[in-house]
A = this chain, B = another copy of it.
Amino acid sequence: MSTISLAQGTTVIEAAFGRARELQLKPLTIAVLDAGGHIVALARQDGSSNLRPGIAIAKASGALDLGVSSRKIGEMALERPTFVNALSAIASAGVVPAAGGVIVAAENGDILGAIGVTGDLSDNDELCALAGAQAAGLRALA
Contacts and interface: CB of A to CB of B under 8 A. Distances in A.
B82 A77 contact: yes
Contact of A82 (B43, B55, B81): B81
Which 5 pairs from chain A and chain B are nearest by CB? A36-B36, A2-B2, A49-B67, A51-B65, A77-B82
Contacts of A94: 86, 89-90
Given A2-B110, A6-B44, A49-B66, 14 more contacts: A2-B2, A36-B38, A36-B50, A40-B43, A41-B42, A41-B43, A42-B43, A50-B65, A51-B87, A74-B83, A86-B96, A86-B97, A90-B94, A90-B96
A121 interface: no
A97 B83 contact: yes
Interface string A102-117: 0000000010000000
Contacts of A35: 3, 35-36
Which one of A5, A48, A51 has the greatest number of beta carbons of chain B within 10 Å?
A51
Interface residues of A, number: 55
A38 B67 CA distance: 14
